[in-house]
Structure 1
Amino acid sequence: MKDNYPSFPGFENVSLEDSYVLDIVVHPAVLILKLDVLLLSGHPEHRFPAPGERACFRQATVVFSSIRELHWTGQSVTTPAIDASGTADYGSVDSLTGADDSYKILGDWGEINLQSNTPSLSIDPPLPLDPNEPP
């Protein structure tokens, strides 16, 4: 199945394939992906890239709630990469597909198959607008 996450509410104009997974947290009935997400130019929170960045990245959280079933395979090979600033990440979300209440998420950290409500994506508090920045 082809990635269809851009059709999920709130996932428009983001690129999970070019984002970085900072953490994966599982609690009873909840899966949380903490991301440094790449926002595309059509996203309402998109800003010009910060100095030294190649694109607009923002801290974000993806939450799958009311999980009825979750299987995570391949997690034993998960080792974070450390970038030049010392920040650890687990690669990207290579694929996120969903149909009805079933979802499949793939990445260097393994494969997660789950049944839950539609995931939500929230961008951390917005950055102040720079009055010198073009719209």
Structure 2
Amino acid sequence: MPPTYDQAFADLAEIYLEDSWVLEVGVRDGALVFDLEAVLTERHPRYRPPRPGEMYCYRRGRLTVSGRPVLFRGSERPPNRDPDGEPDRGNIDVFAPLAGDSSGWRVEGEWGEAVVGSPAVVLDLGP
């Protein structure tokens, strides 16, 4: 069975992408870059109890997925807006190895879709 994203990439251990909010996404300097509100699980070292009215511990951060090639197709739909007026491009619904490809990964959500060859992943969480 292929590894899940949290098994394959150390920076995504104890991160739950499926309920993390994508604020912006695009290709910058040859990498797929997400600005997001990441969900941290209780075992993450930066976890804190959820704020009132929130279901999870969220931390703003930047997820960079670099590799060769990076093939990206963004959604043509304009983003929704959350109650605070910030853009809401949905979640990262799929981050999984490509079937039959030992090095490629697919990434999908309402924001669009991407394929990244031999990805390296860095998640930089804000304060």
Q: TM-score range by the shorter chain?
A: 0.7 to 0.9
Q: How many residues align?
A: 123
1:105 to 90, 104, 107: 107
Partner deviation per Cα, 1:65-114 (whole Å, 9 max, x = no partner): 3x3212223x2433211111111110000010137542210101221012
Residue equivalent to 2:12: 11
SS in 2 for 1:77: coil
Aligned partners of 1:14 and 1:109: how far apart in 2?
Answer: 19
Q: Which runs of 5+ in 1 are unaligned?
A: 126-135
Quick check: 1:3–1:96 contact (8 Å CA) kept in 2? no
Specify the structure having the higher radius of gyration (Cα): 1
Query: Is 1:114 aligned with 2:116?
Result: yes
* Compared CA separation, residues 51 and 4, structure 1 to 2 (3 A): same
Quick check: 2:37–2:59 contact (8 Å CA) kept in 1? yes
Q: Which runs of 5+ in 2 are unaligned?
A: none
Q: 4+ runs of 1 displaced by more than 6 Å?
A: none
Matches within 5 A, 1:1-80: 4-7=4-7, 8-65=9-66, 67-73=67-73, 75-80=74-79
Aligned partners of 1:3 and 1:95: how far apart in 2?
Answer: 13
Aligned partners of 2:108 and 2:2: how far apart in 1?
Answer: 12
